[in-house]
Amino acid sequence: DAGITQSPRHKVTETGTPVTLRCHQTENHRYMYWYRQDPGHGLRLIHYSYGVKDTDKGEVSDGYSVSRSKTEDFLLTLESATSSQTSVYFCAIRPLILAGGITDTQYFGPGTRLTVL
């Protein structure tokens, strides 16, 4: 258990409304990631963070923004939700190893199922 929680776990919203998903971790990990999972696509990276206020885009970042004001929280925001953003969203962390390197293993949260009507 990597101490990752996601909230909410389920959400139904309407097209055009803003939505924020929260990923919270308790072990002070520096690297955090947001993915979406869709049938036929596997998991695709939306955004990632390598420290407080340090974020970068993944392969499917259009329509999403992120913020990391504290080490423990990584927020994913859909400014104006669309039906194409109906998906399951996973947060992940990557632990550091001794001597400042990073491991090659990511640990995933339980996911948030978002439905945009």
CA distances from 57 to 14, 15, 48, 108 (A): 25, 23, 6, 19
CB 106 within 8 A of CB 93: yes
# binding residues, other proteins (CB under 8 A): 23
CB 10 within 8 A of CB 27: no
104 scored as a contact of other proteins (CB under 8 A): yes
Binding mask 48-77 for other proteins (x = CB under 8 A): x---------x-------------------
Structure tokens at 66: 């992120």
CB of residue 75 to other proteins, shortest distance in Å: 18
107 scored as a contact of other proteins (CB under 8 A): yes
Q: What does the binding site for other proteins look like in residue numbers (CB under 8 A)?
A: 4, 31, 33, 40-45, 48, 58, 90, 92, 94, 102, 104-111
